[in-house]
Amino acid sequence: MALTAIPVGFVAGLFGIGGGLITVPFLFYIFSSLDFNQSYIMHLAVGTSFAIIVPTSIASVLTHHKFNAVDVDIVKSYGIHVIIGVIF
């Protein structure tokens, strides 16, 4: 994971782009070189990229909350709409 995190973080920070744009092709290359089954390498790369987002997002929310940078009223108003959007 460190093999992807270090260059992805550097390039994403350098160009100001999302990490997934770099992470998915990089993971695809790594999984291909490790002889994973070709029929699901792309699914594995995208899923792994999404899995990386979860702890990063949690850390970001906690940090913003710690510095009182979260408008709780707005978050509450989005809640039901986000849940409906996720389901459908």
Q: What residue segments make up the domains of the chain, in order of their start?
A: 2-87
Q: Is 35 left (phi over 0), alpha (psi -120 to 50) or beta?
A: left
* Burial class of residue 34 in the structure, from the number of CB atoms within 10 Å of its CB (0-12 exposed, 13-18 middle, 19+ buried): exposed
Please write the tens of the pLDDT for every residue from 23-75: 899 899 999 999 999 999 999 999 999 998 888 889 988 999 899 998 889 88
For the ranges 4-8, 12-16, 17-21, 30-34, the maximum mean pLDDT occurs at 30-34
pTM: 0.65
DSSP 29: H
**1 has a pLDDT exceeding 70:** no
Q: Is the pLDDT of residue 18 over 80?
A: no
